[in-house]
Chains A and B, each alone.
Chain A
Amino acid sequence: MKADPRGVLTGTHFLDGDHACCEGALAAGARFAAGYPITPSTEVVERFAARVPVVGGTFIQMEDELAASITLQGAVWGGAKAFTVTSGPGFSLMMEHIGYAAMTETPCVFVDVQRGGPSTGLPTLPAQADMMQARWGSHGDYEIIALCPNSPQECFDLTVAAFNFAEEFRVPVMLMMDEVVGHMTEKVVIPLSDAIEVVPRRHTRKAADEYLPYSTNGDGVPEIAHAGEGYHFHVTGLTHDERGYPNMTPQTQDKLIRRLQSKIHDAADRITLLEEDGLEGADVIVVSYGITSRVAQRAIELARESGLRVGKLRLITCWPFPEKRIRELAATAKAFVVPELNLGQMVREVERATAGKAKTIAIPHAGGSVHRPQDILKAIVEASR
């Protein structure tokens, strides 16, 4: 279906990534946000608090991130599309509720505007060091989807995509921004509402006596009902059967946890968003995401000017990791160069996917600034030899 025009600020704007993310959420139909202030993410909810009363919705500032990350889920079961926004320290506090959302299949969006860590780290400076936490931070086995914008425009576009994936797969979706993308101001074009595709909630059409909250129709994603509609359903973070009832057997655990994984795995091709350029015949492929991809772009251009065959693979979807594409490319490329604002996170995934068929070269950076293009260029040159 198309976006509700009331939430869409159609036009050409000059926005920073945080504000663009807020507009993406409104365009996607989010009418509820719960947040707790934290640099460098707060501008998202500041804008939401100003905008949502004239659109028809609610913002509540909670007492901490533990509260914010579960308040939004209460709102989802009350019928809202909802999200929260944070940065590293708050993201750490939200981990339990990312697990709760995964287990209860609560469609929702968590935005993490990454800053340097660990702990309080660098509140006002960038990093990309929460990438593994986004995937593995909550206990137990589960799958999430994570998207990584590299511009304010993408902060808008991918926030819409994040809500759409959340609804389609009933999964928490992480929007992994970083401080630079969040605070840089660029042109953002917000299309007409008719041009914005919005995935509606998978609400059941079944009568209350026929409805099984966690049974699926083949694609692994159950239909939802909201509180107050007469379904009298039960939702629990305990291992549960198709009725939603707790069931403490290895068989029920196996069936449930495998389904939570397979509903994402099986659709990985559809979820995987990549930007590719010059991969055909490339000797070296630069794999990057977020703000680092903007720096890598310069290094790639410099390398090409000196005659090197360099390809660009930008991860827009970071989780599920696009291992199939990396595996294909590893058959022809000599090496992958992976710059990121951490001391080696996604590079491990690249290395795993190449299965030793190509060299993998990390370009680590502890955060606080972005790479220098020369550092990436140097690695490309060395890898090309």
Chain B
Amino acid sequence: MSTLNISNPVEPFLRTDRMPHIWCPGCGIGTTVNCFARALIESKIDLQSVALVSGIGCTGRVAGYVKLDSFHTTHGRAIPFATGLKLASPKLNVVVYSGDGDLSAIGGNHLIHAARRNIDLKVICVNNLIYAMTGGQTAPTTPGHAITSTSPYGTYEPAFNLPHLVEAAGAVYVARWTTFHVKQLARSIGEAFQKKGFSFIEVISPCPTLYQRRNRLGDGLDTMKYYKKKSKVRHGAPTSEVGLTMTGEIIVGKFVDRDRPDYQSLLHAQMVESLGERYVEPSENLCNCS
């Protein structure tokens, strides 16, 4: 009798010795990781050159599951950590992989400043509209009227429209997909790897345990049906028009794809202009190692 030997093509990208993962049934984060791995496969990128940095939260755990140089940092600070990593080692492709609360609330200041500086980072923001790890509290992305553990009578704070925010701050690539759009998401991640500068991909993702359940929006599968039915692909849509509501349309697509010099190009040009031959390029191997 022959043994059926089938392995998932994304397995080589995962720390399989850390499975099972902590994510709930129906959670979308695993789907985004699958898309990320497929984007790496398709882009044929040298895995040694990829470093992944996460903050804290459910999506923050991605760093622990990918077989890459991976950093699980502090809450909100994945982007500044990634900034230091990229500047010290420019050859790296640095990916920031974190959640909406981590990146846009506690880390919101770093998000806009990294976009302003146009640091060459690929930011994947899994937006489940809530603080999930801590039990489903209101996030800056929670749509109006949604019930959360800290908004038991419904959310009344206006939410961030993240694509609009990062475009205004200076990102060169901005896209949004849902976890229903696996092909499109993988393609966008691949495109971000081709861009030099601050790229931001928002992935709308279900949290059946805390967001969908509390708001009587069904389970993971129901959410997929909602994403399928209510998503409208509008490439190039003005980001001012892509804000989210609890049950309304979800505008997805590639909203921004533009070029402007990234931080390191600007730094180099300025130093050469001011210092000429006195400028010494930072060396790749910075520290004297034993």
Bound CA–CA A70/B78 (angstroms): 9
B7 interfacial by beta-carbon distance below 8 Å: no
B73: A residues at CB distance < 8 A = 70, 100, 237
Contact of A97 among B72, B77, B278 (CB under 8 A): B77
Q: Which B residues from 33 to 51 make CB contacts under 8 A with A?
A: 47-49, 51
Query: Quick one: CB contact mask for B126-169 with A, threshold 8 Å, 1 for yes?
Result: 00000000000000000000000000000000000000000000
Most buried by A among B48, B51, B85, B286: B286
Chain A residues with a Cβ closer than 8 Å to the other chain, count:
56
Tell me how far the C-beta of B105 lies from the nearest C-beta in chain A, rounded to whole angstroms. Answer: 13
Query: Quick one: CB contact mask for B98-114 with A, threshold 8 Å, 1 for yes?
Result: 00000000000110010
Tell me how far the C-beta of A280 lies from the nearest C-beta in chain B, rounded to whole angstroms. Answer: 40
B2 interfacial by beta-carbon distance below 8 Å: no
B238 interfacial by beta-carbon distance below 8 Å: no
Bound CA–CA A65/B114 (angstroms): 15
Establish whether residues A100 and B69, one from each chain, have CB atoms under 8 Å apart when the complex forms. no
A64 interfacial by beta-carbon distance below 8 Å: yes
Establish whether residues B88 and A235, one from each chain, have CB atoms under 8 Å apart when the complex forms. no
Establish whether residues B290 and A80, one from each chain, have CB atoms under 8 Å apart when the complex forms. no
Chain B residues with a Cβ closer than 8 Å to the other chain, count:
50
Q: Which B residues from 1 to 56 make CB contacts under 8 A with A?
A: 15, 18, 47-49, 51, 53
Stretch at the interface among B60-68, B174-182, B202-210, B239-247: B60-68
Bound CA–CA A368/B85 (angstroms): 39
Query: Quick one: CB contact mask for A219-233 with B, threshold 8 Å, 1 for yes?
Result: 000000011111111
Can you list 16 pairs linking A and B with CB atoms under 8 Å apart? A1-B288, A32-B286, A60-B84, A70-B74, A70-B80, A70-B84, A77-B85, A78-B286, A80-B88, A97-B74, A228-B92, A229-B69, A232-B68, A234-B63, A234-B71, A237-B72
Bound CA–CA A96/B74 (angstroms): 8
B83 interfacial by beta-carbon distance below 8 Å: yes
**Using a CB–CB distance below 8 Å, which chain B residues touch chain A?**
15, 18, 47-49, 51, 53, 63-64, 67-74, 76-77, 80-89, 91-92, 109-110, 113, 267, 271, 275, 278-290
Bound CA–CA A245/B91 (angstroms): 26
B92: A residues at CB distance < 8 A = 78, 227-228
Main SS of chain B's interface residues? mixed
A347 interfacial by beta-carbon distance below 8 Å: no
> Given the interface contacts A60-B87, A78-B89, A80-B88, does A203 sit within 8 Å of B290 by beta carbon?
yes
Contact of A237 among B74, B82, B285 (CB under 8 A): B74
Bound CA–CA A72/B80 (angstroms): 9
Establish whether residues A56 and B49, one from each chain, have CB atoms under 8 Å apart when the complex forms. no
Tell me how far the C-beta of B205 lies from the nearest C-beta in chain A, rounded to whole angstroms. Answer: 22
B82: A residues at CB distance < 8 A = 74
Contact of A78 among B84, B267, B275 (CB under 8 A): B84
Closest to B274 in A: A53
Closest to B72 in A: A236
